[in-house]
Amino acid sequence: MNNVSKGKVALVTGGTKGIGKAIADQLSNAGIQVIITARTAPGESTAGQYFIPADLAQPESAETIAGEILGKYGRIDIIINNTGANLSPGGGFSTLSDEHWNNDWQTNFMSAVRINKALLPAMIEQKSGVIVNISTGAAKLPLWEMTMSYSSAKAALNAYSKALANEVATYGIRVNVVSPGLVKTPLMSEFIENLAKSSAVTSDEVHKSVIDKLNVPIGRMAEPEEIANLVTFLVSPEAKYITGVNYSVDGGALPTI
């Protein structure tokens, strides 16, 4: 465990499963009070974590979450915008309707923009805070047949994060992006199952073909904790000079430097 400052309040959106859960668990294990959000409550509650139900694709959710956090804890030190999913079918441009584009945009981009807008005034007043936006390697390596609208929404998240980092740095607030490659999460299992069904092959074959297609040098998917390790470092005081950066954690999959 990295040295993370204690007595702080953190929000992890989508903190009930996968990467978000791994991040929430590492932060609460470090003594930070963690607020997790999702549409569905977690099966069991975890010490040091408080759940707020919310659909972040809905515009009104961010203000509700911010109001509850600031009302209950009076401050916010860390925001992890982790909510996201590839919501559209494969098949390329002609299969994507306006609704598909809008769903991906709301879930993967506007969710983070609205949460930050609702909570940044409190961070600015505190003159401190750290934000990590969870993007994807697919924003730099979009696959037209699988991730067109999702990659585009996450690419917007990357550009927004850089602009925001520049805007708020003088208030003592840092903003970074973490871009996972392939990670073993419920989202990934669902993606593989759906692809297997639509291509009439087994899940194991799809799993192998996805790793082969992305040519992952380390040769396997990441565990959620391997993404959380970097996020936990980035929100710690040790990372206090790091802002405006997009970090890949992808087993070497991105073929450029």
Ligand X SMILES: NC(=O)c1ccc[n+]([C@@H]2O[C@H](COP(=O)([O-])OP(=O)(O)OC[C@H]3O[C@@H](n4cnc5c(N)ncnc54)[C@H](OP(=O)(O)O)[C@@H]3O)[C@@H](O)[C@H]2O)c1
Active site residues: 150
Residue 75, interface with ligand X (CB under 6 A)? no
The least CB distance from residue 243 to ligand X, in Å, is 20
Among 33, 50, 84, 247, which residue sits at the site for ligand X (rule: CB under 6 A)? 84
Among 6, 40, 47, 94, which residue sits at the site for ligand X (rule: CB under 6 A)? 40
Size of the residue set binding ligand X (CB under 6 A): 27
Q: Which stretch binds ligand X (CB under 6 A): 17-25, 164-172, 206-214, 235-243?
A: 17-25
Choice between 169 and 224, CB closer to ligand X = 224
Site residues (CB under 6 A) for ligand X, limited to 172-231: 180, 182-183, 185-188
Q: Which stretch binds ligand X (CB under 6 A): 23-31, 37-45, 141-149, 204-212?
A: 37-45
Site residues (CB under 6 A) for ligand X, limited to 46-65: 54-57
Contacts 24+ apart (CB under 8 A), 86-89: 86/138, 86/146, 86/147, 86/150, 86/187, 86/191, 87/149, 87/150, 88/148, 88/149, 88/150, 89/198
Which structure tokens are listed for 83?
Answer: 């909510």
Choice between 129 and 137, CB closer to ligand X = 137
- Residue whose structure tokens are 């981009």: 109
- Side chain identity at residue 98, one-letter code: D
Cα dist from 169 to 46, 114, 174, whole Å: 33, 19, 6
Among 30, 32, 35, 38, which residue sits at the site for ligand X (rule: CB under 6 A)? 38
Burial category of 115 from C-beta neighbours within 10 Å (exposed 0-12, middle 13-18, buried 19 and up): buried
Please give the biggest Cα pair distance in the chain: 55
Among the listed residues 144, 140, 138, 142, the one whose alpha carbon sits nearest the alpha carbon of residue 91:
144
Q: 56, 62 in Cβ contact below 8 A?
A: yes
Query: Can you count the helices (H) and strands (E) in the chain?
Result: 8, 7
Site residues (CB under 6 A) for ligand X, limited to 108-147: 134, 136
Q: 49, 9 in Cβ contact below 8 A?
A: no
Q: Which stretch binds ligand X (CB under 6 A): 10-18, 122-130, 167-175, 202-210?
A: 10-18
Site residues (CB under 6 A) for ligand X, limited to 148-167: none
Contacts 24+ apart (CB under 8 A), 60-63: 61/37, 61/114, 62/111, 62/114, 62/115, 62/117, 62/118, 63/114, 63/118
Choice between 132 and 168, CB closer to ligand X = 132
Choice between 143 and 187, CB closer to ligand X = 187
Choice between 90 and 180, CB closer to ligand X = 180
Choice between 96 and 124, CB closer to ligand X = 96
Residues that bind ligand X in the complex, under the rule CB under 6 A: 14, 16-20, 38-40, 54-57, 82-85, 107, 134, 136, 180, 182-183, 185-188
